[in-house]
Amino acid sequence: MSTEILMPALSPTMTEGNLSKWLIKKGDTVKAGDLIAEIETDKATMEVEAVDEGVVLDLLFKEGEANIPVNKAIAIIGDPNEKVEVKKEAPIEKVIEEKKIEKNIETKIENKKANIIDTPSPKIEEDRNLSSEEITMRQALRDTMAEEMRKDNKVFILGEEVAEYQGAYKVTQGLLQEFGKERVLDTPISEHGFTGLAVGAAFKGLRPILEFMTFNFSMQAIDQIINSAAKTLYMSGGQINCPIVFRGPNGAAAQVAAQHSQDFSSWYSQVPGLKVIAPSTPYNAKGLLRSAISDPNPIIFLENEILYGLKGPVNNDVNFSIPIGKANIEKEGKDLTIVTYSIMLQKSKEAALRLKEEYNLDAEIIDLQTLRPLDTETILNSVKKTNRLITVEESWPFGSVGSEIANIVQRDAFDYLDSPVIKVNSADVPMPYALSLEKLYLPQVDDIINAAKKVSYIK
Amino acid sequence: MKKLQKADYIKMYSFMLKIRRFEERAAQLYGMGKIGGFCHLYIGQEAVVVGILMTIDKNDSVVTTYRDHGHMIARGLDPKRIMAELTGREDGYSAGKGGSMHMFSKENNFYGGHGIVGAQVPIGTGIAFTHKYNGEKNICRTYIGDGAMNNGQVFEAFNLASLWKLPVLYIIENNKYGMGTSVDRAAAGLDLYKRGEAFGIPGEKVDGMNVFSVIEAADKAGKYVREGNGPYIIEVQTYRYRGHSMSDPAKYRTKEELDNYKQTDPIEIVKAEILKKKIATNDEIEKINKDTLEEIKNAAEFATNSPFPKDSELYTDVYL
């Protein structure tokens, strides 16, 4: 019987990989544990071991072939003499078939994640000065940090694995090489300590960029963020400001479960003294991160791990920035308003396409970009036009950014509303591990469509 | 160590006395309802900050805890404006928005005044990081109460400071009680100065009632840090005469214990030395006493007459 060797997922968010090298050739005998290939992912190049044994019957991809989806067969191993038997043994094939179906479901979900990443980039406006080349969000963030570090010696970066490892998610790739270890510092795993240290450095006039490997770990340091960074300007009567950027991935990645999948947008947005930014594309990531690094206040910059691979055009002008506190009307529409941010922009766009196709509803999409200070004007103007509002975000429902928007809209645009505001949030539970439950937990396109139907009184 | 001059003795005496008179007046204003909230007095601990003061460069930075009035006076800040902050008035160092625990003076490199136990330790370490990053020869003195020595972030900061050889001098003011809990009921191992050993940070224990001992230790430690050897810990054994804060009757200790410490009052020690060395006469000392009392009385008057912050100030200084 023969067995397919599938492209492995080497990280929770990997959707495809490049076959950088075969370590076996056709006709080789492979034992479990033997190295068979080198696979390059978005984060690293890793060796892959065989788990099944047999003779290599076929290699399905050549060395150097790129973007091979996870779970795609890349080689076949088996016993060359038993080929005929395999055909005879129908029940075994059936088992394989069933297994394939299961895998197909998984692949579908994985591909769905990939699809999110592949949705078209924001509409291109003439004045945007967009590059012809598309880059990933990861590169956009990296490039912006490097550009700002070249401009201002006071900007430095610290965090876990940001230097020699090149970033846990490769967002700081190459910075150590360009700026040296005085300005790109690997810290020990002590968030409370190094966050306080960075806050002190900012008080004294430096401009730290602090990377949390993920924002989940910022809870270890939240006292320094809120009690020290956010409040000292006020407590000192305006004397001591804290120009610091806290950045890193926020929210769910893929199946990393409750302690590593949490959205902190409303937590930090509640705090006066902090500004909170959540980019959704490489384009706005660049413009917003530049504004964040130049800002004299403490900034919470919420990235999203799944979006790191999102490609899009950017503005390569090293002075290009997007103002903090300004939302972007991602798509104009007349029938209802969808207010969203970060990764949920992509799902909202997908939902808007289907709303048009299936229900002839023309949704306006507002990408908040900044959560605090909130661009209430753009939201209110849109609601006054469409008279219907849904908010879409990954955070838990209680006291979320959407809750505050609902409050503002009912207060300031009550007479314009034709239906109650509906919020689309994650489920009000800790993040489960199981793939099926994780999908249920997170807001999906169907949830957005249902909310849109509801505010439009469509059954 | 450079030899103390006659003027140094007078300076020490004046500063220590000024701190004491200030705190006594603050207690009075608190009792009158002119000062609200928390108010932590420094009485008994004056030799610590004044001893350190004698060894500093004005471009060095300082960061301390919420027991900060004495630190500000020793930094040469104006008692009028400190008291005005205590009374929550617009002339206060934080324009009335910080209060007793949250005072800063950027121009004097005084970085607070921190209300969260232990939080100032990583912050001071970060200020030291900046001195090093900028290639300055200055150090950051980071004061720590004995209570904070059981707080996790302190050790995270110790590790970072030693790992990166940061110019930070940690000064543990061991006044024997973290609020109402004595050190021996809170700390496993009473030699707090040894708590940097695992990180390779040298430490030393010093008699904090005697300003001359403090100067000697601070001088040695300061040199070590300034020369780029990394952090150093001084544990200063001191005692607060008052409760943890104004609302603390300090029933957890005996009158005998307090009286015992008062026998070695830090101000009396300096005064005796001045008289013994004939640096000043009794009359001259009396004059200092009278002038200090007058200065603090004026500060209190200033602080109670300064206007409250304008209502519009509520929304300023949230963002720069």
- DSSP one-letter code for A91: H
CATH of region A2-117: 2.40.50.100
Closest CA relative to residue A297, chosen from A365, A238, A348, A355? A238
Backbone angles phi, psi at A426, to 5 degrees: -70, 165
CA angle A246, A248, A250 (to 5 degrees): 110
Please indicate if any CB of chain A lies within 8 Å of the CB of B232: no
pLDDT tens across the length of chain A (459 residues): 788 888 888 877 788 889 999 999 999 998 888 888 998 887 777 888 888 888 999 999 999 898 899 889 999 988 877 654 444 444 444 444 444 444 444 444 444 444 444 444 444 444 577 888 999 999 999 999 999 999 999 999 999 999 999 999 999 999 999 999 999 999 999 999 999 999 999 999 999 999 999 999 999 999 999 999 999 999 999 999 999 999 999 999 988 999 999 999 999 999 999 999 999 999 999 999 999 999 999 999 999 999 999 999 999 999 999 999 999 999 999 999 999 999 999 999 999 999 999 999 999 999 999 999 999 999 999 999 999 999 999 999 999 999 999 999 999 999 999 999 999 999 999 999 999 999 999 999 999 999 999 999 998
Residue A9 pLDDT: 83
Half-sphere exposure of A425 (CA within 13 A, CB side): 22
Cβ contacts of residue B96 below 8 Å, gap of 6+? A237, B84, B85, B88, B89, B90, B308, B309, B313
Backbone angles phi, psi at B78, to 5 degrees: -75, 120
Of B133, B164, B319, the CB nearest to A206: B133
Domain CATH number, residue B185 = 3.40.50.970
Token pair, residue A439, equals 């999908």
Q: What domain count does chain B have?
A: 1
In tens, the pLDDT along A120-148 reads 444 444 457 788 899 999 999 999 999 99
- Interhelix angle B6-31/B282-305, rounded to 10 degrees, is 40
Helix residue ranges, H only, A46-136: 83-88, 90-118
Name chain A contacts of B320, Cβ cutoff 8 Å: 233, 238, 241, 296-297
Rounded to the nearest angstrom, the gap between the alpha carbon of residue A71 and the centroid of all alpha carbons in its chain is: 22
In the annotation, is A4 catalytic? no
CATH architecture of the domain formed by A127-313: 3-Layer(aba) Sandwich (3.40)
In tens, the pLDDT along B4-38 reads 999 999 999 999 999 999 999 999 999 999 999 99
Q: How far apart are CA B147 and CA B118, in angstroms?
A: 8
Neighbours of B162 (CB within 10 A): 17
Across the interface, whether the CB atoms of B320 and A188 are under 8 A apart is answered no
- Residue span(s) of chain A under CATH 2.40.50.100 come to 2-117
In a domain, B255, yes or no: yes
CB B238 within 8 A of CB B174: yes
Q: How far apart are CA A13 and CA A30, in angstroms?
A: 29
- DSSP one-letter code for A370: E
Q: How far apart are CA A146 and CA A157, in angstroms?
A: 10
Rounded to the nearest angstrom, the gap between the alpha carbon of residue A458 and the centroid of all alpha carbons in its chain is: 32
In a domain, B246, yes or no: yes
Question: Measured between CA atoms, how close is B128 to chain A, in angstroms?
Answer: 8
Residue A12 pLDDT: 73
CB A115 within 8 A of CB A292: no
CA separation, residue B13 to residues A155, B53, B54, B237, B259 (Å): 44, 12, 12, 19, 21
In the annotation, is A133 catalytic? no
Across the interface, whether the CB atoms of A194 and B122 are under 8 A apart is answered yes
Please indicate if any CB of chain A lies within 8 Å of the CB of B203: no
In a domain, B181, yes or no: yes
Backbone angles phi, psi at B156, to 5 degrees: -65, -40
- Interhelix angle B79-86/B282-305, rounded to 10 degrees, is 40
DSSP code per residue over A305-337: GGGGG-EEE----TT----TT--EEEE--SSEE
Does domain A327-455 fall under CATH 3.40.50.920? My reply is: yes
Question: Measured between CA atoms, how close is B314 to chain A, in angstroms?
Answer: 9
Token pair, residue A270, equals 């509640």
The interface pTM score, or ipTM, of the predicted complex is 0.93
Across the interface, whether the CB atoms of A204 and B159 are under 8 A apart is answered no
- Residue span(s) of chain A under CATH 3.40.50.920 come to 327-455
Which residue is associated with the tokens 């232990």?
Answer: B118
Please indicate if any CB of chain A lies within 8 Å of the CB of B108: no
Q: Which of A147, A148, A211, A260 is catalytic?
A: A260
Residue B124 pLDDT: 98
- Residue span(s) of chain A under CATH 3.40.50.970 come to 127-313
Query: Is residue B83 over pLDDT 50?
Result: yes
Residue A127 pLDDT: 59
Cβ contacts of residue A289 below 8 Å, gap of 6+? A140, A141, A144, A145, A245, A247, A277, A279, A301
Lowest mean pLDDT, pick from A76-80, A354-358, B252-256, B275-279 = A76-80
In tens, the pLDDT along B167-203 reads 999 999 999 999 999 999 999 999 999 999 999 999 9
Domain that holds residue B27: 6-303
Rounded to the nearest angstrom, the gap between the alpha carbon of residue B12 and the centroid of all alpha carbons in its chain is: 14
CA angle A233, A234, A237 (to 5 degrees): 90
B253-260, long-range: CB < 8 A, 24+ apart: B253/B177, B253/B182
